[in-house]
Structures are given as C-alpha cells and as structure tokens.
Amino acid sequence: MLGTVRTLRRYPVKSMLGEELAEADVTWRGLRHDRRIALVHRETGKIASAKNPRLWRDLLTLSATVGDAGEAGATGAGEPPVRIALPDGRTLLATDEKADAILSALLGAPVRVAHTPPPGATLERSKPEEVLAAGIDAEVGHDETEIGTGAPDGTFFDFAPLHLITSATLAHIAELSPRGTVEVERYRPNIIVSVPTEPPTPGAPTPSPAFPENAWVGRHLHIGDELMLHILSTTPR
C-alpha cells in the first residue's frame, strides 16, 4: 500500500485552469473530458500552451468546466458542454459561434477552438531556466514538441493521458520555493496521491521525502479494484 488518492482533477481545455472532481470515469484515453479541447493558433497551427508564457500566460486567467449532457450547448454526439469562465466573470460555451473571436481578443492572438488536433500538432515549450533568468516577457529559447506521443491519437495531452503526482513531491516543492507554497494547478495533475511520511512497520525503510513517484516508472500502479496504470515516465518539470 503506497498511499491513498487525495484529489482528482481535470482540465477540459488545455492550459486553462480546470476543476476538482469527487469521482471520475477513467479509460485508456484518461479521465473523461480531460484535455478535450485546445486552442490552436490560426496562422501557425500550433497548440496554445502556457508552457510558452510570453505568448500564452493569459490562458491561466481562464478556467473550464464540464456541464451536464442535457444542458444547452451539448454537442450532437451527446457530449456535455464545456463552459469557459472569463476574467470578468462572464462565461462562454466552447461551442459558441463567437468563442473564437472573444478568446482571440482576450489572448491577443488569432486562435480557434479545436476539438481534434491538427495532423502533427506541436507546441512550444520555453526553456524554463531562461524564463527564470530573463522574465516571462522576454523572448527566450524554446523547444518545439509534438503532442501526445504517449497518448491515443486525436488527444491534446502533452505526452501521456494521465498525470499523477504525490503529496510528498508537492510538499517538497513548497519547501524549496521562496514563498513556501506551491500551486498544484501549475503541474496539471489528474491524480494526487497522499503518501505516508513514516515507515509503515517498525524496521522498514523510511519513504523518500520527495519525488517518491520517480521510483514507480516502468511499474504498474493499482488504484482501487478496477484501475491499473502503467507508469511511463517521470514528469520533466
């Protein structure tokens, strides 16, 4: 027994703030409705991602939630609507015909709401060390990466369809931060696992105080009776 599930989260629109859930359906495509939609730059065809803060940091002023299938704005396929909360308190359905224009004006770039990624979709990931040194407004180096190489086709995940992080890792990051706190939304996890900080039995080794999930790569993790995850990789951040 490694720990217990503390929190479930999903992010219906890529790089926007999301919602906390009491329960969630999980399939081979991840949490249902997670990263269901993304914004695509209409001229470059690249996915809008807050990993390039100079261009897209205002995405973090928006949040997205999933409604009920019977609500207005549901798709013809019976998918419930995705509602985007704007900084001024207004809400906008992702299917609204004015969504592209409103979001483009807010973000200062021509974007469109995309329900499926364009072929070979990529995003720009700014080099974090350069951002820290020069500030978020500076033009710094970046890597261009193809999205979803560890996820099913047609999804907007950076890599894999689920992201897990432990309470120990979050606590350690907070300790390292000059502010002494950490915003879990920064890491976009779907599952936060609370892990013990004391040995489970007398004489057993003390669990690692930080980043214990790094030792789980290549292994299978059971959550409850039905869900089994195969841990593919550590998180670069």
pLDDT tens readout for residues 33-63 = 999 999 999 999 999 999 998 999 999 999 9
Given pLDDT bands bounded at 50, 70 and 90, which one contains residue 68?
confident
Return the structure tokens found at 74.
């549901």
pLDDT at 199: 55
Instruction: Look up tokens 């003390």; give the residue.
Output: 206
Given pLDDT bands bounded at 50, 70 and 90, which one contains residue 235?
confident
pLDDT digits (tens, 9 = 90+) for 168-227: 999 999 988 888 899 888 899 999 999 986 655 666 555 556 889 999 999 999 999 999
Say if CB 57 and CB 129 are below 8 A apart: no
pLDDT at 197: 66
3-state SS of the chain? CCCEEEEEEECCECCCECEEECCCCEECCEECCCCCEEEEECCCCCECCCCCHHHHHHHHHCEEEECCCCCCCCCCCCCCCEEEECCCCCEEECCCCCHHHHHHHHHCCCEEEECCCCCCCEEEEECHHHHHHHCCCCCCCEEEEECCCCCCCCCCCCCCCCCEEEHHHHHHHHHHCCCCCCCHHHHCCCEEEECCCCCCCCCCCCCCCCCHHHHHCCCEEEECCCEEEECCCCCCC
- The angle subtended at Cα 96 by Cα 93 and Cα 99, nearest 5°, is 90
User: Residue 142's CB: how many other CB atoms inside 10 A?
Assistant: 17
Q: pLDDT above 90 covers what percent of the chain? A: 62
Given pLDDT bands bounded at 50, 70 and 90, which one contains residue 71?
low
pLDDT of 228 > 90? The answer is: yes
> In one letter, which amino acid is 196?
P
pTM of the predicted structure, to 2 decimals: 0.88
pLDDT at 160: 93
pLDDT at 76: 57
Q: How far apart are CA 40 and CA 129, in angstroms?
A: 26
Of the candidates 43, 35, 31, 50, the one whose C-alpha atom is nearest the C-alpha of residue 117 is 35
pLDDT of 97 > 90? The answer is: yes
Please state the rounded mean pLDDT for residues 66-93: 82
Return the structure tokens found at 33.
């409705």
Q: Is 151 exposed, middle or buried (0-12, 13-18, 19+ CB in 10 A)?
A: buried
> In one letter, which amino acid is 46?
K
Given pLDDT bands bounded at 50, 70 and 90, which one contains residue 236?
confident
